[in-house]
Chain A
Amino acid sequence: MNPQDIQKIAHLARLQINDDVAAETAKSITEVLNLVDQLQSADTDGVAPMAHPLDAVQRLRADEVTEGNQRDAFQAIAPATENGLYLVPKVID
Chain B
Amino acid sequence: MEWETVIGLEVHVQLATASKIFSGSSTAFGAEPNTQASAIDLAMPGTLPAANAEAFRFATMFGLAIDAEIGRTSVFERKNYFYPDLPKGYQTTQLEQPIVIGGHVDIAVNGETRRIRIHHAHLEEDAGKSLHEDFHGLSGIDLNRAGTPLIEIVSEPDLRNADEAVAFARRLHSIVTALGICDGNMSQGSMRFDVNISIRPKGEEKLGTRTETKNLNSFRFMERCIEQEIERQIEVLESGGSIVQETRLYDGDTHSARSMRSKEEANDYRYFPCPDLLPVILDDDYIDAVRQSLPELPEAKQARFQEQYGLSDYDAGLLSADAATAQFFEAAAAEAGDAKACANWVLGEIAARLNASDSSINEAPITANMLAGLIQRIQDNTISSKIAKTVFDAMWQGEGSADAIIEARGLKQVSDSGALEKIVDEVIAANPKQVENYRAAPEEKRGKMLGFFVGQSMKLSKGQANPQQLNQILKQKLEQ
Contacts and interface: CB of A to CB of B under 8 A. Distances in A.
A89 interface: yes
Interface residues of A, number: 36
Contact of A51 (B35, B80, B97): B97
A65 B278 CA distance: 22
Contact of B137 (A61, A65, A69, A90): A90
A86 B36 contact: no
Nearest to B75: A51
Contacts of A85: 33-34, 131, 135, 140-142
Interface in A75-92: 75, 80, 82-92
Interface stretch (B15-23, B303-311, B391-399, B428-436): B15-23
B279 to A, nearest CB: 5
Contacts of A86: 34, 84, 140-141, 143
A66 B50 CA distance: 12
User: Helix, strand, loop or mixed for chain A's interface?
Assistant: loop
A38 B10 CA distance: 39
A63 B18 contact: yes
Interface band, chain B? 35 or more
Contact of A80 (B33, B37, B138, B281): B138
B366 interface: no
Interface stretch (A18-26, A29-37, A52-60): A52-60
Contacts of A12: 80, 267-268, 270
A54 B279 CA distance: 10
A89 B138 contact: yes
Interface of A: 12-14, 51-52, 54, 56-67, 69-71, 74-75, 80, 82-93
24 contacts: A12-B268, A13-B80, A52-B278, A52-B279, A58-B280, A58-B281, A60-B51, A61-B24, A61-B50, A61-B51, A61-B52, A64-B18, A67-B24, A67-B36, A69-B36, A71-B32, A74-B34, A74-B39, A84-B34, A90-B132, A90-B138, A91-B83, A91-B130, A93-B260
